[in-house]
Amino acid sequence: MRKSDAFLTLSAVLLLLLGASFADAARGLVREEPALERKAEMVGRLGLTDLVLFTEARYTRHPSQADLHSAFQDHPFAMDHFPTGSLLPPPILKGRP
Amino acid sequence: MRVWLNKQRNLLDFSLSSLSRRRGKTLGMLTVYTSIVFVLASVMLFSHAIRREAATVLAKSPEVLVQRMVAGRHDLIPARHLDAIRGVRGVQSAEGRLWGYLFDPAAAANYTLMVPTNPRIEPGKVVIGDGVVRVRNADPGDLMSFRAHDGSLVQFKVDHAISRESALVSADLFLVAEEDFRRLFGIPAGMFTDLAVSVRNPREVGKIAEKIDAALPDTRIVLRDEILRTYESVFDWREGMLLVLLAGSILAFAIFSWEKASGLSAEERREIGILKAVGWETGDVILLKMLEGLVVSLSAFLVGYLLAYAHVFHLGAGLFEPVLKGWAVLYPKYRLTPFVDELQVATLFFFTVFPYTVATVVPIWRAAIVDPDQVMR
Amino acid sequence: MIHLSDVRKAFNQGKANEFWALKGIDLSVRAGKVTVFRGPSGSGKTTLLTLVGCLARPTSGRVRLRDRDISGLPERFLTDIRRSTFGFVFQQFNLLKGISAVENVMIPAYPLGRDRNELSERAHALMASLDIAAKAHSNAEWLSGGEAQRVAIARALINDPEVVIADEPTANLDSERSRQFLGIVETLKASGKTVLMTSHDPLVCDTAVVDHVVSLRDGQLVESR
Ligand SMILES: Nc1ncnc2c1ncn2[C@@H]1O[C@H](COP(=O)(O)OP(=O)(O)O)[C@@H](O)[C@H]1O
Ligand SMILES: [Mg+2]
C-alpha cells in the first residue's frame, strides 16, 4: 500500500473517531438530561449553592458563600496553603458595595 | 487538477518517507506533541464541562442569600431580620437556613451539615452523601456519633444515602434535623446561618438586594447571579494551577518549535539543496516541509484530542484527581456530563496545528532560497 | 545548442576574498554530442557546469539555450528549464540517505505530478537498463560507489532530459567501472542525449565516444578540440 494512502486512511479513521466523539457527546447529553434535571431539582430543594469539587477548606467548598477574606483570615499576609485555592477565583461581586 | 492531485500525493508520499527515515526524532516529536495536546484538551474539556454543569444545575440555587457579617466574618443571623426582609417590596418569601461544616475525626474529612426543610429529617436520623458513605463505609442503619459543642455525644442513625448520580452537588452532605443541628453546635433558637430570599420578579433582584442592604447594614448579600458567575470562571485559564500547566506546555511547545525553527541541521540543508538541484522549486520544498509538519501536527491533534475525550468523559479524568483533590480526604466520584464546545475544539485545533506547521516552514524558507549550486561542491 | 559568450563568474564579489573562477569563456556545446571539460583541480570546471546547467547565473556574459538567453532569468524559470532540460549526476552523487534507491530515482519527478504507477514503472525500467534493478529497494547509503553512481544516473534520466551533466564521473571509480560508465555514456549518446562532463582522467578524454574536449586553466579556455 502506498504510504500516502495509509496515512490518508489513518487520518480518515481518526477524523471519523473525532466525529464519533461529537456524536457520543451529543448522545451523552441526551442521556444525562434527566439526571441533570434531578440534580437541579435537588439544588433547588436543599438550597445548595456550590459544587462539591474541593472539600478541604470552607472557602473552596463553598466559594460563592465565602466572605472575601476567608482565605486570609488568620493573618492578612497569610499565604493560601491549600492547592485547590489556586484553581478558584475570588467570588465575583456585581458592582455593588 | 489530476496533475495537481498526483503532485500532492507524491509529495505526501515523500514527506512520509522523510519522516520515517528520521524515525526516532519523528516519534519523539509526535509523543511530546500528542501529550501537549492531550493535556490542553483534557483541561479544556474538563473545565468547560464543569462550568456548563454548574450553570445548569446551580440555576436553581437560592435567588438571594443574606449573611450577617461581624468584624469581617460570616456570623449567625437573627430571625428578626426575616421580618425586615419580608417587609421589602417585591420579596416573595424569606426563610432561615441552617448549615455549616462538621469535621469528622474518624475519617479526617469535612462534611457539609445541612438542615433541609423539604422533606424534613427525623431527629436522630441522617441522610448522607455518597462521599460520606465512602469515607465512612456507612450503610443505612449504621450509627455515627459526634461530640457536640458541650462535649456531649450526639448520635445519628443513617437513614439512607443520596444517590451517587448527584455526587457533584451532594457528595459531602450530611442532612440532619433542626434540633440535632442546634444541639450539636449550641445554636440557640432564633438564630440561622443565613437567610434565603426569593423575589417576585427576577428582574428586580438587584433593586431588592439594594433595599435589603439598606435596611440591614450588617449584612452581605449574595445573588444567584454571582454564584453562577463564580462558577463561570472556575478553572479559568487565569487560575494558578491551570496557568502553570498551560504556561508549562506552551513554553515546552515554544522551545520545541524554536528548536525546529533554528536547528535546521546541515544534513537537512544539504537535502534541500539536492531537491532544488534536481529541479524542485522553492515552493515545492516548502510544500513538502509543510506536509511533514501537517502530518505530525494533525496526527498529534487528533490522537491527543481523542485520548483527552476518553480520559475526561469515560475514564473519570483520573489524571486530574491528584490536583483537584488537594489535601481533601473526601473527593466526589462523579461522571461529567459531556458538554463539548465545538468552537473551543476548533480553536484548540487552530492553536496547535497552525503554529507548528508555520514553525516548520519558516526555517525551510530561509534554507530554500539558497543557491542550488552549493550541492555541486 | 548551448552557447556561452564572455561568461565570467565571481565568488564573494565586492568582498576582500573576491575570486574570479571564470574569466571570459566563449563556448558552444552541440546537441547530441559528448563534451568533456578538462583541467586541473580548481580550474573552474564545476563552476562552468553550474552555469551551463542553470544551477547558477554568471556574474557577467550571456548563456543561451538554443535561442533563449537564460542568463538573466529569475530563479523560477531557471528551475523550470533545469527540470525539463538537464539531468545531473553530481560528483558526490548526492543521493538522499534513508530512503530506497528507487525512491531516490523518482524524486525529480514528484513535483511534476505524474502518476505514481507510471513513474515507478519508469524508474524500475531505468534501473534495469542500468543493471541495478536488484538494488532498487536497498537504502541509498548501502550502495557501493558504482551502484550509487548508476542510481544517480537513473535519477538524472527520470524526467527524460535532453542534456545529462556529470561532474567528475570517474573520479571515484576504478578503471573497470570507469569503462562501464563510458559504456553508459555511449548508450545515452546513441539515444540522442547531449552529454556534458568534467574530468581530468585521460581514460575519459581519449575515448572514442567523446566528441569534444575543452581544456580549462585558471578560469580560462586554453584549448578546445
Ligand atoms: N562558493 C564559492 N566561494 C568561493 N570560491 C569558490 C566557490 N566555489 C568555487 N570556488 C572557487 O572557484 C574555483 C573553481 O572551482 P571549481 O569550479 O570547483 O573547480 P574544479 O571543478 O575545476 O576543481 C576554485 O578555486 C574554488 O576554490
Ligand atoms: Mg570540480
Q: Identify the closest residue of chain A to B45 by CA–CA distance.
A: A25
Contact A47 B9 (CB under 8 A): no
Chains with ≥3 CB–CB distances under 8 Å to A:
B
- Helices B266-277 + B342-368 axis angle, to 10: 80
Number of domains in chain A: 2
Q: Is there a single domain that holds both residue B210 and residue B239?
A: no
Sign of CA dihedral C217, C220, C222, C225: positive
Q: Identify the closest residue of chain C to B372 by CA–CA distance.
A: C55
Predicted confidence band at A96 (pLDDT cuts at 50, 70, 90)?
very low
What value does the mean pLDDT take over residues B144-156? Answer: 90
| Residue B373 CA, closest ligand 1 atom number | 1
C28: enclosing H helix or E strand: strand C19-29
Residue B78's pLDDT is: 93
- Summarised one tens digit per residue, pLDDT across range C183-196 is 999 999 999 999 99
* pLDDT score of B256 more than 50: yes
Q: Is there a single domain that holds both residue B198 and residue B341?
A: no
Q: Is there a single domain that holds both residue A12 and residue A39?
A: yes
Cβ-in-10-Å burial (0-12, 13-18, 19+) of C112 comes to middle
Q: Is there a single domain that holds both residue A30 and residue A55?
A: no
Q: Judged by CB atoms within 8 Å, which residues 5-34 of B form the interface with A?
A: 9-10, 12-13, 16-17, 20
Contact B6 C75 (CB under 8 A): no
Contacts of B3 in chain C (CB under 8 A): 112-114
CB nearest to B327's CB, from A8, A10, A82: A82
Number of domains in chain B: 2
- Summarised one tens digit per residue, pLDDT across range B99-134 is 998 888 888 888 999 999 888 889 999 999 999 999
* pLDDT score of A72 more than 60: no
What value does the mean pLDDT take over residues B227-252? Answer: 72
Cβ-in-10-Å burial (0-12, 13-18, 19+) of B8 comes to middle
* Beta carbons within 8 Å of B244's beta carbon, 6+ residues apart: none
CB of B156 closer than 8 Å to CB of B183:
no
The answer as to whether B227 is a domain residue is no
Contact B337 A28 (CB under 8 A): yes
Q: Which of C79, C89, C97, C104 to mutate to test the interface with B (most CBs of B within 10 A)?
A: C79
CB nearest to A56's CB, from B72, B303, B328: B328
Over chain B, what is the mean pLDDT? 86
Q: Give residue ranges with CB within 6 A of ligand 1.
A: C 11-12, 19, 21, 39, 41-47
**C-alpha cell of B342?**
465545538
Q: Is there a single domain that holds both residue B41 and residue B78?
A: no
CB of B304 closer than 8 Å to CB of B33:
yes
Chains with ≥3 CB–CB distances under 8 Å to B:
A, C
Could you tell me if B292 lies within 8 Å of chain A, comparing CB atoms?
no
Q: Identify the closest residue of chain A to B311 by CA–CA distance.
A: A21
Contacts of C93 in chain B (CB under 8 A): none
CB of B97 closer than 8 Å to CB of B192:
yes
* pLDDT score of A79 more than 70: no
Q: Is there a single domain that holds both residue B35 and residue B104?
A: no
Q: Is there a single domain that holds both residue B105 and residue B161?
A: yes
Contact B169 A94 (CB under 8 A): no
Contact B61 A10 (CB under 8 A): no
Q: What is the DSSP letter of B129?
A: -
CB of C219 closer than 8 Å to CB of C27:
no
CB of B253 closer than 8 Å to CB of B304:
no
- Summarised one tens digit per residue, pLDDT across range C65-92 is 888 888 888 888 888 888 889 999 998 8
Contact A11 B299 (CB under 8 A): yes
Contacts of C84 in chain B (CB under 8 A): 279
The minimum CA-CA distance between C186 and chain B, rounded to whole Å, is 23
Q: Identify the closest residue of chain A to B52 by CA–CA distance.
A: A36
Residue B241's pLDDT is: 61
The answer as to whether B166 is a domain residue is yes
Q: Is there a single domain that holds both residue A43 and residue A68?
A: no
Q: Is there a single domain that holds both residue A62 and residue A33?
A: no
Q: Is there a single domain that holds both residue A94 and residue A58?
A: yes
Residue B321 CA to residue B40 CA, distance in Å, equals 16
The answer as to whether B135 is a domain residue is yes
CA B244 to centroid of ligand 1, rounded, Å? 55
Last residue of a domain, one of B198, B222, B246: B222
Q: Is there a single domain that holds both residue B73 and residue B193?
A: yes
* pLDDT score of A51 more than 80: yes
Q: Is there a single domain that holds both residue B18 and residue B158?
A: no
From B44-58, B226-240, C127-141, the region with the lowest mean pLDDT = B226-240
* pLDDT score of A74 more than 50: no
Residue A76's pLDDT is: 40
CB nearest to B302's CB, from A18, A29, A44: A18
B346 or B235, higher pLDDT: B346
Q: Which domain holds residue A1?
A: 1-48
Q: Identify the closest residue of chain A to B335 by CA–CA distance.
A: A32
The minimum CA-CA distance between A8 and chain B, rounded to whole Å, is 10
Q: Is there a single domain that holds both residue B203 and residue B341?
A: no
* pLDDT score of C164 more than 90: yes
Contact B7 C110 (CB under 8 A): yes
Q: What are phi and psi of C91, to 5 degrees?
A: -60, -45
From A31-35, B78-82, B243-247, C51-55, the region with the lowest mean pLDDT = B243-247
Residue C138 CA to residue C124 CA, distance in Å, equals 13
Last residue of a domain, one of A28, A48, A68: A48
Q: Identify the closest residue of chain B to C80 by CA–CA distance.
A: B279
Residue A88 CA to residue A75 CA, distance in Å, equals 20
Taking the CA of C50 as reference, the closest ligand is 1
Q: Is there a single domain that holds both residue B75 and residue B206?
A: yes
From B235-239, C96-100, C104-108, the region with the lowest mean pLDDT = B235-239
Contact B13 A4 (CB under 8 A): yes
The answer as to whether B2 is a domain residue is no
Q: Is there a single domain that holds both residue B309 and residue B329?
A: yes
Residue A97's pLDDT is: 42
Last residue of a domain, one of B204, B222, B240: B222
Last residue of a domain, one of B163, B187, B222: B222
From B366-375, C48-57, C167-176, the region with the lowest mean pLDDT = B366-375
Predicted confidence band at A93 (pLDDT cuts at 50, 70, 90)?
low
CA A11 to centroid of ligand 2, rounded, Å? 47
Q: What is the DSSP string of A19-74?
A: HHHHHHHHHHHHHHHHHHHHHHHHHHHHT--S--S--SSHHHHSTTTS-TTGGGTT
* pLDDT score of B216 more than 80: yes
Could you tell me if B173 lies within 8 Å of chain A, comparing CB atoms?
yes
* pLDDT score of B246 more than 90: no
Residue A38 CA to residue B66 CA, distance in Å, equals 26
Contact B13 C116 (CB under 8 A): yes
The minimum CA-CA distance between B270 and chain A, rounded to whole Å, is 24
Q: Which domain holds residue B119?
A: 64-222
Q: What angle do CA B27, B29, B33 make, to 5 degrees?
A: 120
| Residue C49 CA, closest ligand 1 atom number | 17
CB nearest to C110's CB, from B2, B10, B274: B10
**pTM of the complete model:** 0.84
CA C42 to centroid of ligand 1, rounded, Å? 6
Residue A48 CA to residue B173 CA, distance in Å, equals 10
Q: What region does C192 belong to: left with phi over 0, alpha with psi -120 to 50, or beta?
A: left
Q: Is there a single domain that holds both residue A36 and residue A65?
A: no
The answer as to whether B275 is a domain residue is yes
CB nearest to C55's CB, from B275, B281, B372: B372
What value does the mean pLDDT take over residues B159-170? Answer: 90
Q: Is there a single domain that holds both residue A29 and residue A43?
A: yes
Over chain C, what is the mean pLDDT? 90
What value does the mean pLDDT take over residues C203-220? Answer: 88
Residue C145's pLDDT is: 86
Q: What is the DSSP letter of B137?
A: T
Contact B280 C46 (CB under 8 A): no
Q: Is there a single domain that holds both residue A34 and residue A74?
A: no
Q: Which of C12, C96, C117, C153 to mutate to test the interface with B (most CBs of B within 10 A)?
A: C96
Residue A85's pLDDT is: 64
Q: What is the DSSP string of C112-150?
A: GT--HHHHHHHHHHHHHHTT-GGGTTSBGGGS-HHHHHH
Q: Is there a single domain that holds both residue B89 and residue B198?
A: yes
Predicted confidence band at A77 (pLDDT cuts at 50, 70, 90)?
very low
Q: Is there a single domain that holds both residue B213 and residue B237?
A: no
| Residue B374 CA, closest ligand 1 atom number | 1
